[in-house]
Amino acid sequence: MLEALKQLAAPAALGEDSIDRILVFARAHLGMDLAWISRTAGHWQVVEYLDGAADRFGVVLGARLPAFPRQKGANPHEDHARRGPAYVVTPLQLPDGRLYGHIACLGERAAQIPGRRDGQFLELVAALLGPSIAALEAERDRRAGLGARVQSILDAGGPTMLFQPICALHDGRPIGYEALARFTPLDRPRTPDQWFADAAEVALGVELEVAAVRCGLAAQLLLPDHLAVSVNVSAAHLNHAAVLTALSQADPHRTIVEITEHDRIDDYAEVRCACEQLRDAGCTIAVDDAGAGYAGFAHLIELRPDIIKLDRQITHHLDTDPARAAMAAALVGFSRALDTTVLAEGVETEAELRAAADLGIHYAQGYYLGRPRPLRADTIPASTRRPRQEFASDFQSLIR
């Protein structure tokens, strides 16, 4: 039995449900009707985990019960005792010695009156549970911290956006800007990707993406109207109502939607359908980081984007590395067959830019052409200010 308990409480089995399983085990072993773990909160005990006939005793998850007396073995629920239920309770300490709360069992029948050994058994269960509860509490605190941090960004109106020029290689002029979210590190430095992952972990992933899309697309108001704004949306959020609403509030003909992906896409049909909808509305669809991670060939074949954004892993040393050049050339061939366009990301040198142009790549982005910068009316290069009519034929023909 001890082995079984130890296994249930082992770190590998850790999780809310492993605690639930231990409660089931303890209740069954003691032949009780109800078992629960409560957290001490001032004068109250808040029921955090529960197993058994909750309704019969009026003890439900989240219920606040009067605090148990500190001394062991006492039966705090005198009224229950008078009506005859059997009751066993023991304090639950965390490994650092702090009192977390109590573990308690309640039974209705007289036959269940617990003896000293039952009390000892429950003490053993409490001792085994301590580390698991401590780890879960730490995890809850961590998530609460993440949630608060992400929420504070949302409350402040969204992340700070920087804008990096996307240039046409035939004349070197920007055709638009990619909007990139930046986060001021509050307590520890985290990359933008980590912020989005954190947000997703606390179910604020869509909210943060929508905020970034909104803040990014607001640049359309500042930029001359022949310039597009490229925003990042993860495939999983592409047909989310809030994302579509944010996109619909901008000029679709000046909107490039970059599909980013950090997880494998299971249902391409759904993503493809969302792409079609956006395309019908006038948006241009790009696949981000093509050739890296999950944005491999299946991605391109399934999504048929208007723009393939070649990951900077391929662009880096494109001028000297035949393998990278061959990979880029293969993607250019692919894009020609499908009437799409290739954009080289992460161009850092003139040689890389030339190599990209020589391979037939139409667009480029990277430190060599311009670092991500805040966008202000006075920082928009004069060379990008072109009359509107010119745009109509130029940009559209370049993109398609």
Interface residue list for Mn ion (CB under 5 A): 232, 258, 288
Q: How far is the CB of 168 from ligand G (least distance, A)?
A: 17
Q: Where are the beta strands (DSSP E) in 209-292?
A: 228-234, 255-260, 284-290
Phi then psi for residue 107, to 5 deg, are: -130, 150
At closest approach, how far in Å is the CB of 249 from ligand G?
22
Distances (CA, A) of 140 to 78, 134, 144, 201, 364: 34, 10, 6, 12, 44
- Name the nearest CA neighbour of 232 among 192, 175, 280: 192
**Span from 38-46, 72-80, 82-90, 343-351 in contact with ligand G (CB under 6 A):** 343-351
Indicate the residue among 31 and 370 with the shorter CB distance to ligand G: 370
Question: Binder to ligand G among 137, 201, 270, 348 (CB under 6 A)?
Answer: 348
Q: Does 352 bind ligand G (CB under 6 A)?
A: no
Q: Check residue 383 and report its DSSP letter.
A: G
Shortest Cβ distance from residue 125 to Mn ion (Å)? Answer: 51
What six digits make up the tokens of 21? 């399983």
Closest CB to ligand G among residues 109, 373: 373
Distance from C-alpha of 56 to C-alpha of 61, rounded to nearest angstrom: 13
Is 146 in contact with 137 (CB distance < 8 Å)? no
Q: Do residues 189 and 245 touch, judged by C-beta distance below 8 A?
A: no
- Structure tokens of 332? 């250019």
Question: Which range, of 17-25, 237-245, 339-347, 379-387, touches ligand G by CB under 6 A?
Answer: 339-347
Phi and psi angles of residue 274, each rounded to the nearest 5 degrees, phi first: -65, -40
Can residue 232 be called a binding residue for ligand G (CB under 6 A)?
yes
Choose one: 27-35, 49-57, 364-372, 376-384; the region binding ligand G (CB under 6 A): 364-372
Q: Measured from the CB atom, is 27 or 214 closer to ligand G?
A: 214
209 forms part of the interface with ligand G (CB under 6 A): no
Closest residue to ligand G, based on beta-carbon distance: 366
Residues 131-170, one symbol each (x = binds ligand G by CB under 6 A, - = not), give ---------------------------------x------
